[in-house]
Amino acid sequence: MATVELSVANELLRDFDTIRHKINGREIGRRPSSTCDAVTILDMEMPEAPDQARTMELVMRLVDGRAEISETRYWDEHGIFLAPVVPYVDR
Q: What is the pLDDT of residues 14-47, one digit of tens each?
A: 888 888 888 889 999 999 999 999 999 999 999 9
| Cα four-point dihedral sign 55, 68, 14, 20 | negative
Alpha-carbon distance of 20 to 90, in angstroms, equals 35
Confidence label for 59 from pLDDT (cuts 50, 70 and 90): confident
Confidence label for 68 from pLDDT (cuts 50, 70 and 90): confident
pTM for the model: 0.84
Confidence label for 52 from pLDDT (cuts 50, 70 and 90): very high
Angle 29-19-2 from CA coordinates, rounded to 5°: 40
Side-chain half-sphere of 8: how many Cα atoms within 13 Å? 24
